[in-house]
A and B are shown apart, each in its own frame.
Chain A
Amino acid sequence: MRISVDWWAVLAAGVVVILIKTGLVAGIPW
């Protein structure tokens, strides 16, 4: 199945939001 880059970007950002929201990922440095 081919998914456009746009949807991959939205999907990846969604996963990141869930990880941060649930506290599984925290303290990302810059």
Chain B
Amino acid sequence: MTTLTYPATATGRLPQWVHIVPGTLLLAVIGFAGKVTEQSIAAYGKAHNLTLPNIEYVLWAIVFGLVVSNTVGVPAIFRTGVETYEFWLKAGIVLLGVRFLLGDVVKLGGASLACVALELAVAIALMTALGRAFGLSPKLISLLSIGSSICGVSAIIAAKGAIDADDEDASYAMAAILALGAVSLFVFPLIGRALGMSDHAYGLWVGLAVDNTAEATAAGALYSDAAGKFAVLAKTARNATIGFVVLGYALYWVRQHQGKEIDNKAAFLWQKFPKFVLGFIVISALVTAGGFTQSQVTDLANLSRWAFLLTFAGVGLRTNVRDLTKQGWRPLVVGVVGECAIAGLTLAMVLVAERRLSL
């Protein structure tokens, strides 16, 4: 699991937490620039009686980040801080719990989990078949299957250690997942609009089909605030299964005598479980119990939005198109074909659920 060490010990000339300041400020500046751009365009349109398309701050923050990382690059001094985008994402999700009553979490989370179970089986079967057809190494197939069925990069990192996979295989799998995540940011909202999907149905689809949590959150928020909320819930339900799937693969590779032995399965599951989900549930329980006034709920929801603002800037800043194209073509082909098929199948699943369950 990824770890950060702030606030850290002052082993160098400067305390380690100081190193995250420049990059965090960069996230804030880029994210805020996105917000200002959205507001400025809206204000210009209003002042000149023009009907301009409302392009959300989410897209501006990602695009500004992409421009920086793919032109001048992210200087070394900013990199440690830019990596905190994961912290902002998870803190934002915990605080987002304030916008869900516990009953909704159970109901929607339950429906999402049922879809997740189906998506999981389909994604693993599909990626395994495609990987074999393209002659990928068995462990790369495992990593791509785990990454596409559960939660992208976190799942691949968790599985890499558990199944003793090579660094090269892991970076291939992560590159494929990240490349497709970046594409999904632009394609999913267009498809959602073309099909006239409701916020709920679109959010569920994004949560099921987009693999990386940051990209799923962004792709949801690009559609609407409510869609972003549902995307996070569906994706969080999917993330919660990470321990079980990684454990399954780890046990499979142990049986093949190519993995690390697991002594305590319960401890393994707890180690892999995304703990921020617990924070999300606790805050949701507190709001359900009437623990906050309306203004406190608004404050917490706004803080969640600010945290996501930094996350979206980080999504753009860590996406380097050149790095993605440097990877071999075969894993990318398997990733593209597999992900497109998964996106299509989950879309069909959600459209059926939308009709049957009136999402």
A residues lining the B interface (CB < 8 Å): 2-10, 12-14, 16-17, 20-21, 25-30
User: Cβ of B21 < 8 Å from any Cβ of A?
Assistant: no
Contact B3–A3 (Cβ < 8 Å)? yes
Identify 20 new A-B residue pairs, CB closer than 8 A, beyond the known A17-B286, A20-B292. Answer: A2-B3, A2-B5, A3-B4, A4-B2, A4-B275, A5-B3, A5-B90, A9-B94, A10-B275, A12-B91, A13-B283, A16-B95, A16-B303, A25-B299, A26-B299, A28-B302, A28-B306, A30-B302, A30-B305, A30-B306
User: Cβ of B162 < 8 Å from any Cβ of A?
Assistant: no
Say what secondary structure dominates the interface of chain B: helix
> Which residues from A are CB-within-8-Å of B71?
none
Q: What 10 A-B pairs have minimum CB-CB distances, sorted nearest first?
A: A9-B90, A10-B279, A6-B275, A13-B94, A9-B91, A30-B302, A28-B299, A28-B302, A6-B276, A2-B3
How far is the CB of B155 from the nearest CB of chain A, in Å? Answer: 14
Say what secondary structure dominates the interface of chain A: helix
Interface residues of B in 98-133 (CB under 8 A from A): none
Contact B296–A21 (Cβ < 8 Å)? yes
Contact A8–B87 (Cβ < 8 Å)? yes
Interface residues of B in 276-298 (CB under 8 A from A): 276, 278-279, 283, 286, 291-292, 295-296, 298
How far is the CB of B237 from the nearest CB of chain A, in Å? Answer: 16
How far is the CB of A20 from the nearest CB of chain B, in Å? Answer: 5
> Which residues from B are CB-within-8-Å of A12?
87, 91
17 sampled A-B residue pairs with Cβ under 8 A: A3-B4, A4-B1, A4-B2, A4-B3, A4-B275, A5-B2, A9-B279, A13-B279, A16-B300, A17-B283, A17-B286, A20-B296, A28-B298, A28-B300, A28-B302, A30-B302, A30-B305
User: Cβ of B354 < 8 Å from any Cβ of A?
Assistant: no
| Given known contacts A6-B90, A9-B279, A20 and B4 CB-to-CB distance under 8 angstroms | no
| Given known contacts A6-B276, A29-B302, A30-B302, A13 and B87 CB-to-CB distance under 8 angstroms | no
Closest to A7 in B: B275
How far is the CB of A4 from the nearest CB of chain B, in Å? Answer: 5
User: Cβ of B274 < 8 Å from any Cβ of A?
Assistant: yes
Contact count band on B: 20 to 34
Closest to A14 in B: B279
> Which residues from A are CB-within-8-Å of B275?
4, 6-7, 10
Contact A5–B95 (Cβ < 8 Å)? no
> Which residues from A are CB-within-8-Å of B303?
16, 28
Q: How distant is the Cα of A20 from the Cα of B95 in the complex, in angstroms? A: 12
> Which residues from B are CB-within-8-Å of A30?
302, 305-306
- Mask, B63-98, CB within 8 Å of A = 1, is 000000000000000000000001100110111000
> Which residues from B are CB-within-8-Å of A17?
283, 286, 300
